[in-house]
Structure 1
Amino acid sequence: MKQRPAVDLSELPTFGHGPRTPTWWGTLAFMALEGMGFAIAAGSYLYLAYLTPQRPLSAPTPNHWPGTIVTLLLLASLVPNHILKRHAEACEMLPVRIGLVVMSLLGIAPLVVRWFEFPALNIYWDTNAYGSMLWVMLGLHTAHLITDVGDTLVLTALMFTRHANSGRRFADVGDNVFYWDFVVVTWIPIYLLIYWMPRLD
């Protein structure tokens, strides 16, 4: 009778972090798709700028202060975000709970300022093509902010329940950290296009 070699896999971990998990690759795929959406919106904005030498199309220059405050809040959030990632990889429950609460607050804060950012564009979405593209770019990023903040709030709630006993929740926190980095990084070129490109012109 032919014997089959067997390997004892009982000691292998039941979850992983980063590229060792399929959810990380799924998050990366989402980021690639959504990043292309940002690129298309930015390309449309730049094409409009190319077609219209006199900008910003009879509209006042956007007030940059609300957008600048959002930028500063997002950049400041990167530090606690990566501290949270280290605690999640170490599966440290209490620091992860505290970090998620902090990141929930740091996610809500830009959304509050964003409420004032839309009026600060000084143009409505239906005024002309320029106004439409400003609102599209700002709206796209707002949708991503809301998505990630919602995910963070759900994870925060789960980490205070019995579901936190699953090690995979720590991997979910790591994926959330990864996506928040994407939200912050994609905002920088949008911020420059909306608020500083018209001033350079």
Structure 2
Amino acid sequence: MEKELKYIDIVEQPISMHPKKFALWLFMVTVVMLFAAWTSAYIVRQAEGNWLDYDLPEIFWLTSGIVVLSSITLQWAYFSAKKDNFVQLRLGMVLTVILGISFLIGQWYSWIALVDRDVFFVGNPAGSFLYVLTGMHGLHLISGLIFLIIVLISSFQFKVHSKAMVPMEMLTTYWHFLGGLWLYLFLFLQLNH
């Protein structure tokens, strides 16, 4: 009898995820596959020769720092939302919007610096790859900024709080993903230009 009481049937919970979170993860996997394909093509094409040697714009260092800082401010906003601290939530999100826009402005100036160094979108494939990689990342960052602004507006309407975290969780996941993607691209370009 004593032995029978020790064993309790454990009901297994099915693995589940919010459908919107699942869709976001599928989208991010797709983006990873695209950038993996582009960076692989970069390496293959570079090995064929006729590759332009150039220095990366120094502003890439600054934009990398901005991306890291924006992840910190958004994470602060996320923690603030979990604590229902609406002032810090909104402040963190506003700072993240400012940093995200600053990143995009920095990327624009990096393209200007590339043109000044005679690295163009057309001509040598080295320049084409650089513009495609940074441009596609910038496009995804714009989508992240739109998502950020939508959640920011929701926070002012008290729709983001400890009991309604799904949009904030998705935003934080996507924003950190974009930051990590940029750091990967920056490191890749540093090692392979």
User: Shared topology, TM-score over 0.5?
Assistant: yes
Residue type of the alignment partner of 2:171: N
Pick the aligned partner of 1:161 from 153, 157, 165.
157
Give the structure 1 partner of residue 78 of structure 2: 85
- State how far apart, in whole Å, the 2-side matches of 1:115 and 1:86 are: 32
Matches within 5 A, 1:129-144: 129-144=125-140
Q: Pick the aligned partner of 1:38 from 35, 60, 66.
A: 35
Alignment of 1:1-201 (within 5 A): 20-52=17-49, 55-56=51-52, 61-121=54-114, 122=117, 123-161=119-157, 163-164=159-160, 167-168=163-164, 170-198=165-193
- Structure 1 CA distance for aligned equivalents of residues 154 and 78 of structure 2: 17
Q: Unmatched 5+ residue regions in structure 2?
A: 1-15
TM-score normalised to structure 2 length: 0.80
Q: Percent identity?
A: 21
Deviation at 1:164, TM superposition (A): 5.0
**What is the CA distance between 1:39 and its match in structure 2?**
0.5
| Per-residue deviation, residues 96-152 of structure 1 (Å, max 9, x unmatched) | 222211211121110111110112233111112222111111111111111101111
Taking structure 1 as the reference length, what is the TM-score of the superposition? 0.78
TM-superposed deviation, 1:165: 7.6
Give the unaligned 5+ runs of structure 1. 1-18
Which deviates more from structure 2 when the two are superposed, residues 67-76 or residues 185-194? 185-194
Q: Assess if the C-alpha contact under 8 Å between 1:125 and 1:131 holds in 2.
A: yes
CA displacement, residues 14-67 of structure 1 (integer Å, 9 cap, x when unaligned): xxxxx7422222211111001111111101111111111x642xxx51343111
Opposite residue 184 of structure 1, the aligned amino acid is G
Q: Please report how far the alpha carbon of residue 162 of structure 1 lies from its aligned counterpart in structure 2 after TM superposition.
A: 5.9
Structure possessing the higher relative contact order (Cα contacts under 8 Å, 6 or more residues apart): 1
Asked if the contact 2:90–2:152 (Cα under 8 Å) also holds between the matched residues in 1, the reply is yes
The 2-side partners of 1:107 and 1:129 are apart by 28
Q: Distance in 1 between matches of 2:157 and 2:113?
A: 41
Amino acid in structure 1 at the alignment position of 2:145: V
Contact 1:62–1:194 (CA under 8 A) maintained in structure 2: no
Deviations 1:150-169 (A, max 9, x none): 1111211222136558943x
Question: Do 2:97 and 2:148's aligned partners in 1 also have CA atoms closer than 8 Å?
Answer: yes
CA RMSD of aligned residues (A): 2.2
